[in-house]
Amino acid sequence: MVMPSGTVSDKHKKLIRRGELFQMILPPSYPGSSFLQKIGQRFINKAQKLEKKYRQAKYFKAKKGVCISAGGFIFNRAMVKEYAPKYSKGMPLGTSQDNGSGIRLGQSVGGRTKHMDRVTAWRFLNPPMSFAKGMVVNKDGKRFCNEMVYGATLGDEMCENNDGKAYLILSEELFKSSKLEAAKSLPFQRDAAKMLMTFNAVKRKNVDDLAKVYGINGDNLKESIHQYNESAINDDYCFLGKASKDMKKIDAPYYIMDISIDSRLSPLPTLTLGGLEVDESTGNVINSQGKAIKGLFAAGRSAVGVCSNIYVSGLSIADCVFSGRRVGKSIGEII
Ligand SMILES: Cc1cc2nc3c(=O)[nH]c(=O)nc-3n(C[C@H](O)[C@H](O)[C@H](O)COP(=O)(O)OP(=O)(O)OC[C@H]3O[C@@H](n4cnc5c(N)ncnc54)[C@H](O)[C@@H]3O)c2cc1C
């Protein structure tokens, strides 16, 4: 389906742009965001009316092959619940067209999918560096990851093995230095840290009261803080491989912040990594018998790619370039 070029198409683009602008001002879980979402939706509804009235069906005959490259499915919440339920409370990251239509199209002609449960979840603590010098525990009051690791590694550990629950604990000294460091960070990092510290942080004088804030196991939390402090003062690495130079002793009063997947004030960005299974040498979509479907190819996040098992920054985009070129080469070689 395409919109004919000209004034209607220009108006359509303008409405979509304006609608998306309103919807992107605040993350959808922030208080006050639903108002902005509604205003944005009004522009998008108008654009959709134009679409219904003026769009035209156009048919193209592909002589050699077709490549599905329509993004992932993070905005199709039903698909996320079906394939990757551990991530269904995360904040979708991408474009609204990451709705799985490409993957579904491939499936409709027998394409097999893989790694559909794999999603990358980004819980970046640093900056401010003092956040990462603090301690993160799960609902059981236990540490589960070196807080200095890359954000997608922490997010993965949180969601895969800890029910998406995580709480950041800081001493007053770390809390104060976090404020100073956040002020010097990039605006998007500064604002996220400020939101957490201003509206999410709860201060408590002792560990028993601290544990009660989020119903965390108090005995385990006491033990975790004790172990953390031991590692911080010894010139060594803790059991999770964090160096003592990266740890600061955590004394009362304590601050706790909810950084779980369902934290409204600290939304967890997520994007899907699985898709149509392809022949690794050609990009040809594979069917349920493991055979290539003639003439059907897939690339980018509609397909399984280099980043599908685990993501690090750059790996998805690099795979999009690589997989797109692979398909181009394969189709070019078809006689
Ligand atoms: C804020 C942000 C930061 C990111 N940072 C990084 C990073 O640092 N490193 C990294 O590797 N990745 C990063 N990513 C992820 C990366 O950008 C995406 O994984 C990648 O762009 C996906 O590319 P794609 O071509 O598969 O899909 P897309 O870029 O989503 O393109 C798909 C296109 O298909 C169109 N489309 C969808 N459905 C249909 C349909 N039915 N018919 C016709 N057209 C359709 C869409 O409109 C879109 O134009 C980031 C993403 C975001 C949102």
226 located within any domain: yes
Whether 110 is in the pocket of ligand 1, judged by its Cβ within 6 Å, is no
107 located within any domain: yes
Q: Which residue has the tokens 């239509």?
A: 101
End-to-end Cα separation, the chain, in angstroms? 29
Residue 236 has pLDDT above 90, yes or no: no
Residue 216 has pLDDT above 90, yes or no: yes
| Å from CA of 94 to ligand 1 middle | 6
263 located within any domain: no
Q: How confident is the model at residue 40 (pLDDT cuts 50, 70, 90)?
A: very high
- Structural tokens at position 249: 């002793």
219 located within any domain: yes
| Same domain assignment for residues 158 and 117 | no
Count the residues in the chain. Answer: 335
| Same domain assignment for residues 197 and 231 | yes
Into how many domains does the chain fold? 3
Whether 95 is in the pocket of ligand 1, judged by its Cβ within 6 Å, is yes
Whether 58 is in the pocket of ligand 1, judged by its Cβ within 6 Å, is no
| Same domain assignment for residues 147 and 201 | yes
- Return the DSSP state at 77: H
| Same domain assignment for residues 277 and 323 | yes
Burial class (CB in 10 A: 0-12, 13-18, 19+), 320: buried
| Å from CA of 141 to ligand 1 middle | 37
| Same domain assignment for residues 95 and 169 | no
Residue 4 has pLDDT above 90, yes or no: no
Rounded to the nearest angstrom, the gap between the alpha carbon of residue 61 and the centroid of all alpha carbons in its chain is 37
Q: How confident is the model at residue 50 (pLDDT cuts 50, 70, 90)?
A: very high
Whole-Å CA distances, 196 to 137, 181, 193, 322: 16, 14, 5, 38
Residue 235 has pLDDT above 90, yes or no: no
236 located within any domain: yes
Ligand 1, closest atom to CA 319?
Answer: 11
Burial class (CB in 10 A: 0-12, 13-18, 19+), 323: buried
| Same domain assignment for residues 136 and 246 | yes
| Same domain assignment for residues 23 and 142 | no
Rounded to the nearest angstrom, the gap between the alpha carbon of residue 191 and the centroid of all alpha carbons in its chain is 18
Mean pLDDT rounded to a whole number for the chain: 96
Q: Which residues of 110-122 are buried (b: 16+ CB within 10 A; e: fewer)?
A: ebbbbbbebbbbb
Ligand 1, closest atom to CA 70?
Answer: 34
| Average pLDDT for 33-62 | 94
| Same domain assignment for residues 205 and 315 | no
pLDDT at site 181: 97
Q: Which of 20, 42, 59 is the last residue of a domain?
A: 59
| Average pLDDT for 193-200 | 94
The neighbour count for residue 4, using CB atoms within 10 Å, is: 11
For a substitution probing ligand 1, which of 51, 188, 271, 278 has the most ligand atoms within 8 Å of its CB? Answer: 271
Whether 313 is in the pocket of ligand 1, judged by its Cβ within 6 Å, is yes
Closest CA to 49 of 8, 20, 21, 18: 8
> Going by DSSP bridges, is the β-strand pair 119-121/167-171 parallel, antiparallel, or unpaired?
unpaired
Ligand 1, closest atom to CA 93?
Answer: 53
Residue nearest to atom 42 of ligand 1 (CA): 70
| Å from CA of 301 to ligand 1 middle | 7
| Å from CA of 291 to ligand 1 middle | 27
| Same domain assignment for residues 173 and 282 | no
| Same domain assignment for residues 127 and 216 | yes
pLDDT tens by residue, 84-110: 999 999 999 998 899 999 999 999 999
Measured at the alpha carbon of residue 331, what is the angle toward residues 330 and 332, in degrees to the nearest 5? 90
Residue nearest to atom 28 of ligand 1 (CA): 71
Residue/partner pairs of 49-56 with CB below 8 Å, 24 or more apart: 50/3, 50/8, 50/11, 50/12, 50/15, 51/1, 51/3, 51/12, 54/3, 54/4, 54/8, 54/12, 55/1, 55/2, 55/3, 56/1, 56/2, 56/3, 56/4
pLDDT at site 2: 84
Residue nearest to atom 20 of ligand 1 (CA): 317
Phi, psi dihedrals of residue 292, rounded to the nearest 5°: -70, 135
| Residue 319 contacts residue 327 (beta carbons within 8 Å) | no
| Residue 288 contacts residue 112 (beta carbons within 8 Å) | yes
Q: How confident is the model at residue 28 (pLDDT cuts 50, 70, 90)?
A: confident
114 located within any domain: yes
pLDDT at site 326: 98
Closest CA to 92 of 108, 73, 107: 73
For a substitution probing ligand 1, which of 66, 312, 317, 323 has the most ligand atoms within 8 Å of its CB? Answer: 317
Residue nearest to atom 33 of ligand 1 (CA): 70
pLDDT tens by residue, 52-76: 999 999 999 999 999 999 999 999 9
CATH number at residue 87: 3.50.50.60
Q: Which of 11, 37, 59 is the last residue of a domain?
A: 59
Domain of residue 23 covers 1-59
Residue 3 has pLDDT above 90, yes or no: no
Whole-Å CA distances, 14 to 9, 36, 154, 265, 326: 9, 17, 39, 30, 35
Whole-Å CA distances, 34 to 25, 38, 193, 249: 11, 6, 22, 40
| Same domain assignment for residues 173 and 252 | yes
Q: Which of 258, 278, 296 is the last residue of a domain?
A: 258
Q: What percent of the chain has pLDDT over 90?
A: 92
CATH number at residue 230: 3.90.700.10
pLDDT at site 266: 92
| Same domain assignment for residues 168 and 107 | no
Residue 29 has pLDDT above 90, yes or no: no
Ligand 1, closest atom to CA 324?
Answer: 25
Phi, psi dihedrals of residue 62, rounded to the nearest 5°: -90, 125
